[in-house]
Amino acid sequence: MIEKGKIDARQFTILVVMYTLGTSIIAIPSTTASYAQENAWITVLLTSLIGLLIVFLLNQVNKINHHKNIFELFEYVFGKWVGKGITVFFLLFVFIVAGKNLRQIGDFMTTHVLVETPIQVIMLIFVLTSLYGVKLGLEVISRTGEIFFPYAFFSLVLMIIFVAPQAEFKNIQPIMVNNTEGAFLTIFPTLGTPYFELVVFLAILPYVNRIGPGKKSFYIGVGIGSLLLFAVTLMSLLVLGPDFSARNVYPTYILGKKISGVQFLERIEILVAIAWFFTIFFKITINFYVLSLGMSHLFNLKTTKVLSTPLAFLLIIAGLYLAPNLIAYQNFLAHDLAPFAGTFGILLPFILILTARLRKINKKKKKRRKNKRF
Amino acid sequence: MFKAFSVLLGAGLVFILDYRSLKANKKWDRRVYIVIFAISLGVWMLYIFNVQFPYVIQVVEKIYNPIFDSFNQKLEQKQSFRVH
């Protein structure tokens, strides 16, 4: 194994929560409200349930061999060369997802916070921080997660609590009367971020010190993350209304602006934004780590650190060449991300399980034939 | 030109500092590192000189659009702020 570190189930849960929230906390409320309107919260709820089924599927993939990460599984199931070929495509997927995350945070910062700063500088700052994490390894990333998780979690929970008095239930009424079809159709694009992307955790799951609790923590992590996503989307609809949530690219940030309690508790949206910077940082770092790990497997390198520096600079280019502008990017999120991510997040695990089972059956048959001969 | 020179200088500095950490690694590791570093620098230089590549989303769209076009059109009809 290239990675020697071990993490515990609690650390794994935190990583999964951070990853689930990551960029989805920016993307989901707006995308779902655009197509499902007042029923967007139902879409997110249904998507979360499907998300748990995806975790079940991913855990089944891990069942093929608990000790092998996804790159080793590719070679174990498909053979060395086909496995390496699939690894190349999977790494391309992870590379694009990591670049996408970088671009998302870059776009947000340049449109709302640091308007005059070039996007390249913001991307460089984020990628250098992630690079430091990747160089230090999985254990350090997980321990850092433990430190930042309470801040990210409680600031989101507090945001929801503080904006709750402004909620108006008429914004989500009538429930499932108009645009019912839209609510169901939107489930597919919503699955694209983050549920189809969860497949990257198959590269980390074998490093959880006890595999049973590790699998359970996968469910718990996605459950907690989904619950927060649901709460943020619901609050966005209740406070801002479906139309405003749909028209605004970052309704969660606008929701933070609505926090108004005691006189000194005004304009603290940036504190909320910083909280989800942490979640996005972890999402970028996990993707970057999996990319480095995969490259090390592909080229039979000694550690994950070897290629991390040149990959960091390639990631910035991936982010810059992702989309010509924010509108095109939003369009990509709604239309093409889900099929693209679904190919690797659903189809590939299915094929992996199916091939592994068929090979197992074949092996048993061969064994029986041999036993009959002797 | 100044941008290109800065990138080259920065890349040189990063290479010197980072390559040191690979001294203990196998020769193969160092070779792969140099190749990937060269690719990374090459792509950066192309970006600096404004060489146009197809955007990633355009490539993905070309692959998936023929299969998901009807679904996307159906979804688009449901958009709340659609231009009629």
A33 touches B at CB < 8 Å: yes
To test the contact with chain A by mutation, choose from B49, B55, B62, B63 the residue with the greatest count of A C-beta atoms within 10 A, namely: B55
Paired tokens of A53 = 């089924």
Contacts A296 to B, Cβ<8 Å: none
Total residues belonging to chain B: 84
Helix (H) / strand (E) containing B24: none
For chain A, percent of residues with pLDDT exceeding 70: 99
Interface of B with A in 32-51 (CB under 8 A): 32-33, 36-37, 39-41, 43-44, 47
Determine whether A330 is exposed, middle or buried from the number of CB atoms within 10 Å of its CB (0-12, 13-18, 19+): middle
Per-residue model confidence as pLDDT tens digits over B26-51: 899 999 999 999 999 999 999 999 99
Residue B84 pLDDT exceeds 50: no
pLDDT on residue B81 = 61
Q: What is the mean pLDDT of residues A81-87?
A: 95
Nearest one of A257, A189, A193 to A229, comparing CA atoms:
A193
Residue A246 pLDDT exceeds 80: yes
Residue B71 pLDDT exceeds 50: yes
When the pLDDT of each residue in chain A is averaged and rounded to a whole number, the result is 91
For chain A, percent of residues with pLDDT exceeding 90: 71
Contacts B72 to A, Cβ<8 Å: 335
Q: Where are the alpha helices (DSSP H) in A109-200?
A: 119-136, 138-163, 180-185, 187-192
**CA distance linking residue B68 with residue B76, whole number of Å:** 12
How close is the nearest chain B Cα to the Cα of A321, in Å?
A: 5
Is A32:A237 a contact under the CB 8 Å cutoff?
no
Per-residue model confidence as pLDDT tens digits over A337-351: 999 999 999 999 999
Looking up tokens 């996408």, which residue turns up?
A: A100
Domain ranges across chain B:
2-77
Q: What is the residue-wise DSSP string for A30-86? A: HHHHHHHGGGHHHHHHHHHHHHHHHHHHHHHHHHH-TT--HHHHHHHHH-HHHHHHH
Contacts B82 to A, Cβ<8 Å: none
Contacts A303 to B, Cβ<8 Å: 25
Residue A92 pLDDT exceeds 60: yes
When CB atoms are compared, the residue of B36, B60, B81 closest to A310 is: B36
Which residues have C-beta within 8 Å of that of residue B42, sequence separation ≥ 6? Answer: none
Which residues have C-beta within 8 Å of that of residue A128, sequence separation ≥ 6? Answer: A312
pLDDT bin (cut points 50, 70, 90) of residue A75 is: very high
When CB atoms are compared, the residue of B37, B71, B81 closest to A310 is: B37
Q: What is the mean pLDDT of residues A4-29?
A: 92
**CA distance linking residue B48 with residue B62, whole number of Å:** 26
CA distances from A125 to A86, A131, A316, A351, B64 (A): 31, 10, 10, 38, 33
- CA torsion sign for A245, A250, A252, A256 is negative
Contacts A36 to B, Cβ<8 Å: 78
Residue B12 pLDDT exceeds 90: yes
Q: What is the mean pLDDT of residues A159-184?
A: 89
pLDDT on residue A261 = 66
Is A88:A96 a contact under the CB 8 Å cutoff?
no
Is A27:A333 a contact under the CB 8 Å cutoff?
yes
Determine whether A280 is exposed, middle or buried from the number of CB atoms within 10 Å of its CB (0-12, 13-18, 19+): buried
**CA distance linking residue A330 with residue A242, whole number of Å:** 17
Which residues have C-beta within 8 Å of that of residue A282, sequence separation ≥ 6? Answer: A15, A18, A19, A22, A141, A145, A148
Per-residue model confidence as pLDDT tens digits over A201-236: 999 999 999 888 889 999 999 999 999 999 999 999
Are residues A328 and B14, on separate chains, in Cβ contact within 8 Å?
A: no
How close is the nearest chain A Cα to the Cα of B3, in Å?
A: 13
A365 touches B at CB < 8 Å: no
pLDDT on residue A39 = 92
How close is the nearest chain A Cα to the Cα of B22, in Å?
A: 7
B73 touches A at CB < 8 Å: no
Is A204:A14 a contact under the CB 8 Å cutoff?
no
Backbone φ, ψ for residue A303 (5° rounding): -135, 170
Per-residue model confidence as pLDDT tens digits over A284-307: 999 999 999 999 999 999 889 999
pLDDT on residue A302 = 86
Is A239:A245 a contact under the CB 8 Å cutoff?
no
Q: Residue A64: which region, alpha, beta or left (left: phi > 0; alpha: psi -120 to 50)?
A: alpha
When CB atoms are compared, the residue of A96, A185, A313 closest to B78 is: A185
B6 touches A at CB < 8 Å: no
Are residues A336 and B79, on separate chains, in Cβ contact within 8 Å?
A: no
Determine whether A339 is exposed, middle or buried from the number of CB atoms within 10 Å of its CB (0-12, 13-18, 19+): buried
Highest mean pLDDT out of A140-154, A248-262, B70-84: A140-154
pLDDT on residue A145 = 95
Which residues have C-beta within 8 Å of that of residue A89, sequence separation ≥ 6? Answer: A344
- Does the pTM of the predicted model rise above 0.90? yes
When CB atoms are compared, the residue of A34, A35, A332 closest to B57 is: A332
Domain ranges across chain A:
9-367
pLDDT on residue B83 = 45
Q: What is the residue-wise DSSP string for A245-290? A: HHH-S-HHHHHHHT---STT--S-HHHHHHHHHHHHHHHHHHHHHH
Paired tokens of A176 = 């499932």
Interface of A with B in 177-216 (CB under 8 A): 179, 181-182, 185-186, 188-189
Fold (CATH) for A9-367: Amino acid/polyamine transporter I (1.20.1740)
A334 touches B at CB < 8 Å: yes
Q: What is the mean pLDDT of residues A176-192?
A: 90
pLDDT on residue B82 = 52
ipTM higher than 0.90? yes
- A-chain residue closest to B82, CA distance: A34
CA distances from A136 to A131, A144, B16 (A): 9, 11, 19
Residue A238 pLDDT exceeds 70: yes
Is A206:A68 a contact under the CB 8 Å cutoff?
yes
Residue A266 pLDDT exceeds 80: no
